[in-house]
Amino acid sequence: MNTPGLIKEFERNISYQFEKIEILYRAREETNITYLNETLAPIQNIDKHNATLNQAYSDALLNSLSSLIDYYCILCMLKIGIPHSKIRKVQYRSISNKFILDKFKSTSTNKKILNIQDLKGVYDSELSKIHALTNINARDYWIGFLGSAISSSLHEYGASAKEFVLGYDVQEERLDLSLDIKKYFSYMHPFFCNIYSNAGVKHSIYIDVNNFLKHNAVPYITPHIESFEGEKRIYSYFEIKNEHHLLLKDGILRDIVGTDFEELKINLDSRHRNRNSSGYLCDLEKTWGLGNILTLDPINDHISKDNKTLYFFIDKVLIAKNNEATLIDAGDSLLMVLRILKREIDTGMGYEYFD
């Protein structure tokens, strides 16, 4: 099959995944309502078939979300021009701070001792030797900063054999950036988890839950009644036991699952005390280097009335933690991520022109 034919095939694959997710979510809503009512009733009488079906629908939703992003990545790389022989190498990559540090090319410093902010300082210094920073537009600036990381991914996929070198195009009066690198940036920036953009964090949380499901253990659906001022709400969570943090891929979710309850409480308490301080970062956020991605409910407290459960949001995904496990919202937060994902992919699929 030629490239245009493969592109059409993956566009159909993506449409199918969207349709499947919608059907799965509606079906899961029905089984989940029954499951929640049964598990929270004073006398439990759980329909085992419904409970298993509810878990299976939840597992399928996670898998479909991850497959959808992988399909989109393959589609974008086909549009950029990867050879068919490399198509199996393409999968979701968040372009994280760690990946940027690993791939950044510099002759003036030992990047092994740098954090991402230090690296940005090195980049600014090297860029200023080429041209005045004030005359470089923001988009080109960040594409240049991510250039080595993007180029490395493209090289792995066979789309670009040229190693990225920071340079300035005098005739065009802008940074010398290859079209392939600019295309990659335009297609994939909603999925970045780095100093430039943390937009992909919400997706990566559920992708990590799915990887945990595929390779290690089941993140069982668990119901919780949460009490708020004047009302009670029922939530469904994916549950990951604390001792399973070693089974997770490196990333924010692994850090949270592996963080001691009291240590996390200190971070959330600090965030709460400084809630009116613009730009304040708690220690965990400083470690991640992704800016302010941990937030708290401005109305309800971040700890339950019995002091046994913590509540917070990572990139708007509701997460709870007790002394035994971390709980990732399997309801409204997952739906929010799926809706954002559809909007981002629909936009990316419509890109035809690049400057």
| pLDDT, tens digit (0-9, with 9 covering 90-100), for 125-170 | 989 888 877 788 899 999 999 999 999 999 988 886 678 888 988 8
Q: Is residue 12 predicted with pLDDT exceeding 50?
A: yes
β-bridge pairing 310-314 and 317-321: antiparallel
β-pairing, 317-321 vs 325-329, is antiparallel
- Cα(127)–Cα(218) distance, integer angstroms: 47
User: If we measure between CA atoms, which residue out of 266, 291, 269, 264 comes closest to residue 280?
Assistant: 291
H or E segment and range at residue 174: strand 174-175
215 closest CA partner among 66, 24, 13, 53:
66
- Indicate the SS3 state at residue 347: helix
Cα atoms in the 13 Å half-sphere on the side-chain side of 158:
12
Tell me how crowded residue 86 is: count the other CB atoms within 10 A of its CB.
13
pTM: 0.92
Evaluate if residue 196 carries a pLDDT over 90.
yes
Instruction: Give the residue-averaged pLDDT of 317-326.
Output: 96
**Residue 354 pLDDT:** 45
Average pLDDT over residues 78-95: 86
Task: Give the C-alpha separation, 64 to 347, whole Å.
Answer: 19
Instruction: For 199-220, write each residue's pLDDT tens digit.
Output: 999 999 999 999 999 888 899 9
Structure confidence by residue, pLDDT tens digits, 176-191? 999 999 999 999 999 9
Tens of pLDDT, residue by residue over 65-78, are 999 999 999 999 99
